[in-house]
Amino acid sequence: FATAAVTAQQIGCHGIEIHGAHGYLIDQFFWAETNHRNDQYGGSIANRSRFAAEIVREIRHRVGEQFPIFFRYSLWKQQNYGARLVQSPQELEQMLAPLVDAGVDLFDCSTRRFWEPEFGDSKLNVAGWTKKITGKPTMTVGSLGLEKDLDPGQQWQELKAAANGQMVASAEDERRDVEPPKLDLMLEMLNRGDIDLVGVGRMLISTPNWAELVRERRFKEIVPFSASALMTLE
C-alpha cells in the first residue's frame, strides 16, 4: 500500500484514497463477521482497526505530511445490506480514532442512501457522524440524484435485455423529473456543514454534467441512471 502511494505521488497525483470498504481486504479486518483472529488484529473494535491504521501510518511516513490521504469505509456490506460494523457513535469513534491518529485527512463514507440517518434520532448520516466524531472533512455518497432505489438484480436483467436488443431506450424516453427533495437535502447538508464533499458515480454515465445541473438547480434536465445507460458506453 505504501509503495503504491509513493508511486502515485511521484507520477504527480495530488493525493490518494485507501479503499477500506465493501468487503475488500481492509474491510475484512474491520468486520467481526470476517475477522475471526484472536491476536492483536482481532477481537475489539480498536484491534480490528489496527491493520488499517498501520497501513495509513506507513503511507503517511513515506509520503510526508502535505500529501492528502483519503480513506473510504462502509458500515454496510455488498454481501449483506443490513450489516453494520458498529452499532453506536461510541463504537464508530473507537473504529475511526486510530485512523485519525495514523494520518487520515478525509473520510469517504460509503452508504447506500445518503439521506438516511445512521444512529438514533439524529438526522446525521454516516458522513455527518464521522465529521462530528473525528473533526475531519467527510464525503458522502449513496444514490445521489437517483430518482428511485435500483435493485441490482433488476439492473442485471435490464442490462442483459439491452445487450440482446430487447430494450433500447433513448435518453429522451428515460428523461423524467428527478425527485427534488433529495437533491435539495444534499445541498442543505453541504450548506449546513454536515459534510464537505459528495461523490457521484452512476449518474455521470447518464448525465455527465450532473454537477453543473445540480449547482444551477436544473433538476428537470437530469437524465436518471438506468442499466441500459451502460449500453451507450464505447
**Enzyme catalytic residues:** 24
Residue 19, H or E segment = strand 16-20
Residue where the block lists cell 491518529: 101
**49-83 CB burial, b ≥16 within 10 A, e <16:** bbbbbebbbbbbeebeeebebbbbbbbbbeeeeee
Measured CA angle at 87 (ends 195, 82), to 5 deg: 90
Distances 43 to 20, 101, 159 between C-alpha atoms, Å: 18, 20, 42
- Count the residues in the chain: 234
